[in-house]
């Protein structure tokens, strides 16, 4: 099985990359430090989409 590491995996682009490659059968690992919450406040918090901190 092909493996993929996605940095920023909870962000706009990263989450779509995770979903797309997962659907194609890749083993996908994501890393995201939720920096979005620092930049944009509570509305930018992506913990609900499974960020790994
Ligand atoms: N959205 C666009 O149209 C677009 C177009 C061209 C380029 N880009 C670039 O692509 C990248 C991602 O864009 P996006 O729209 O998905 O942004 P985004 O803010 O939605 O996602 C970025 C993610 O990276 C995470 N992150 C930040 N620093 C991190 C670190 N040190 N370790 C782990 N995770 C970290 C954030 O928490 C966030 O979830 C950015 O560099 C952006 O400038 C975006």
pLDDT at 48: 76
The percent of the chain in helix, strand and coil, each rounded to the nearest 5, is 45, 20, 35
> 27 forms bridges with which residues in the sheet?
3
Atom 21, ligand 1: residue with shortest CA distance: 11
Average pLDDT, whole number, for the chain? 90
pTM of the model: 0.87
Can you tell me which atom of ligand 1 is nearest the CA of 8? 24
Q: What angle do CA 18, 40, 10 make, to 5 degrees?
A: 10
Place of tokens 């690992």: 29
Give the pLDDT mean for 10-38: 95
Whole-number Å distance, alpha carbon 24 to ligand 1 midpoint, is 22
Question: Is the CB of residue 16 less than 8 Å from the CB of residue 7?
Answer: no
Question: Is the CB of residue 11 less than 8 Å from the CB of residue 38?
Answer: no
């Amino acid at each position: 099985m092909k493996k993929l590491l996605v940095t920023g995996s909870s962000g706009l682009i990263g989450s779509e990359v995770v979903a797309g490659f997962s659907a194609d059968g890749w083993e996908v690992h994501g890393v995201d430090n939720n920096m979005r919450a620092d930049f944009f406040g509570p509305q930018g918090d992506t913990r609900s989409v499974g960020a790994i901190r």
